[in-house]
Chain A
Amino acid sequence: MNITINLSMALVLAVLYSVGFYLLMQRSLMRILIGIVVLGHGANLLLQLAGGAPARAPVLDAVPPQEISDPLPQALALTAIVITFALTTYLLALGYRSWVLVGHDEVQDDVEDRRIAARRGPDGAMEEGTAEETEAAPEDTADSHELEEGRR
C-alpha cells in the first residue's frame, strides 16, 4: 500500500490555509468568520487526506477491501465539522450582538494596553496616592470616547 500525496490536493490545502489566515488578519468580524470557515475546511481536508488517497469510500461492501480508505480520519473530520459549524453560528451571533451594541463588527485593539503604553512614566511607586490616574494621556481620552460612543 503505497500512499503518495496528491499534488493538487496539497495545492488546494495551501490555498485554503493562506486564504484563511489572510482573512483572519482582517478587522471585520465577518471576514474573520469567513476566514475561520475557510481554515476549518482546510483542516478538515487535511484530516481527510491523512486517511489515504481521495475518492475512496470507507464503507464496507461498497469497495474491495484493499481499496477501502481509513474511516477514522473521516470520523474525526465529521466531528471537527460539527464543532466548526457550532462555533460559526456562535461567531455570527457575536457579530450580530456587536453590531447591535457598538454599531459595527470591528475587532478592536486592547484599549487599556495602549493607555498604559502611552503613560508618561512608571507610577508603580509604593507611596500611597501619588499617581493621579484621572488625568491620563490624551490617547486615553480618545479611546474612552470611542468606547463611550460605542456604548450608545
Chain B
Amino acid sequence: MTTPSEAPPGPPGDADPPGPGDTPWSRWDQPSGRWMLPGACPDSRERTLVLEAAARLLFPTVLVFSVYLLFEGHYGPGGGFSGGLVAGLAFVLRHIAGGDDNILVSRFGIRPPVLAGTGLVIAVLTGLAPVLWGEPVLASTKWHISFGSFGYLDVVSSLLLDVGVYLLIIGVVLDLLRSLGSGIARDAREAGETAPRPDTGGGR
C-alpha cells in the first residue's frame, strides 16, 4: 500500500549502480516517493529498515485509529485528547524511523504551532458558540441525522471541541518532536556526535 512510485532499481553490486544515474551506493535504496514515507535520513548508517517498513505500514493505520478514537469519544473511551495523542504517536514513530523530516511541514506547509493554535481557536469558539443561542457557555447539543435505510448518525456538538483538542494535541506533540527530538539530534550532530553523551548528570 505504500510502495514507492519509482522503485529504486539497481543491482546491489559492489560497483556503483549504473542505472538511475548518479545515486551513490549508500543512497540507492533511499525511499523516493514522499507521501507516507519516512523522510530523509541524514546518516544512512542509522537507518533501521525493519522499523522503516513497519512505520510505513503503521503510520496510516494509527492515524485512522486516532480518528476513530476522536469520533468514539462521546460515548465510549476515547476523545480528542487520546485521539490526538495516538496521532501524535504516529508522528513520533515516523520520526524515530525516518528522522526529522516532518511530513506536515515539508508536504503541506503546516507548522506545528499553527496546528496547535488552530485547535485551540476551534475549541474556544466551540465553547463560546452556545451563547449565540442563549445557552450557557460550553453547553452542547445533539443532532440526529438520518440516512434513510442506511441508518442514522448522532452528532454531538462537543465533537467540534474534541476536534479542536485533537489538533491542539497533535500540534503540541509535533512541537515537542521538533524541539526535543530534532533539536537535540541537530545539537548533537553539530557537536560532532552521533548521540548525546550518556553520562548526563546523575552520578553524584
A-B complex is real: yes
Whether A30 lies near B201 (C-beta < 8 A) is yes
Q: Does A28 contact B (CB under 8 A)?
A: yes
Categorize the interface residue count of chain B: 10 to 19
* Contacting residue for B204 out of A28, A82, A92, A95, CB 8 A: A28
Whether A105 lies near B180 (C-beta < 8 A) is no
User: With A92-B180, A93-B179 in contact, is A105–B187 under 8 Å at CB?
Assistant: no
Please report the total number of A residues contacting B with Cβ < 8 Å.
16
Whether A99 lies near B201 (C-beta < 8 A) is yes
Question: What total of A-B pairs shows CB separation below 8 Å?
Answer: 30
Q: Does A70 contact B (CB under 8 A)?
A: no
Q: Does A100 contact B (CB under 8 A)?
A: yes
Q: Does B12 contact A (CB under 8 A)?
A: no
User: With A89-B180, A93-B179, A96-B184 in contact, is A82–B201 under 8 Å at CB?
Assistant: no
Find residues 148-204 in chain B having any chain A CB closer than 8 Å to their own CB: 176, 179-180, 184, 187, 196, 200-202, 204
Q: Which residues on the B side are within 8 Å of A105 (C-beta)? A: 200-202
Q: Which residues on the B side are within 8 Å of A104 (C-beta)? A: 200-201
Find residues 39-62 in chain A having any chain B CB closer than 8 Å to their own CB: none
Q: Which residues on the B side are within 8 Å of A106 (C-beta)? A: 201, 204
User: With A82-B81, A100-B187 in contact, is A28–B180 under 8 Å at CB?
Assistant: no
Whether B200 lies near A99 (C-beta < 8 A) is yes
Q: Does A29 contact B (CB under 8 A)?
A: yes
Q: Does A31 contact B (CB under 8 A)?
A: yes
Least CB distance from A71 to B in Å reads 12
Q: Which residues on the B side are within 8 Å of A99 (C-beta)? A: 196, 200-201
With A and B bound together, what is the CA distance between A104 and B184 in angstroms? Answer: 16
Residue of B nearest to A79 (CB): B81
Least CB distance from A22 to B in Å reads 15
Point out residues on A near B: beta carbons under 8 Å.
Answer: 27-31, 82, 89, 92-93, 95-96, 99-100, 104-106
| Closest 4 pairs between A and B when the two form their complex, measured CB to CB | A105-B201, A28-B201, A28-B202, A30-B202
Q: A100-B187, A104-B201, A106-B204 are in contact. List 4 more A-B contacts (CB 8 A).
A: A95-B201, A96-B180, A104-B200, A105-B201
Q: List 15 A-B contacts (CB under 8 A).
A: A27-B204, A28-B201, A28-B204, A30-B200, A82-B81, A93-B179, A93-B180, A95-B200, A99-B196, A100-B187, A104-B200, A104-B201, A105-B200, A105-B201, A105-B202
